[in-house]
Amino acid sequence: MSIIAPVIGDWYRNSTGDLLEVVALDKSDATIEIQYFDGTVEELDFDSWEEMAMQAAEPPEDWSGSVDMAREDIAVDRDGSRPHDWSSHLDYIDRSD
């Protein structure tokens, strides 16, 4: 099995099936910072990366994994669609009706 080199911004799936993104590399310290889909951040050394048997993965379609918002707090119309003036989920944070 070949070892996949970590690339910042790329998504991977580890041997246990967890989805994660590489968010930083520090070659001088030989560390890789990763963020799991649920938002958990972890720092690995290069040896640990190799032991995790990473597979390249597609980014998740559902962006809400690392966002600390309940689904009912995300603005949607009664039919489940986004409001016509919706441009970003951030537009509705701290908005009071």
- pLDDT, averaged per 10 consecutive residues of the chain (97 residues), comes to 87 93 94 93 94 91 59 52 54 55
Residues 6+ apart with CB under 8 A from 63: 89
Whether residue 4 lies inside any domain: the answer is no
pLDDT at 19: 94
Q: How many CA atoms lie within 13 A of 90 on its CB side?
A: 0
Asked if 18 and 37 count as a contact pair (C-beta separation under 8 A), the reply is yes
Residues 6+ apart with CB under 8 A from 3: 49, 50, 54
Whether residue 6 lies inside any domain: the answer is no
Whether residue 31 lies inside any domain: the answer is yes
Whether residue 40 lies inside any domain: the answer is yes
Specify the 3-state DSSP secondary structure of 90.
helix
Structural domain that includes position 44: 11-92
Cα 81 to its chain centre, rounded Å, is 24
Whether residue 77 lies inside any domain: the answer is yes
Whether residue 2 lies inside any domain: the answer is no
Domain tally, the chain:
1
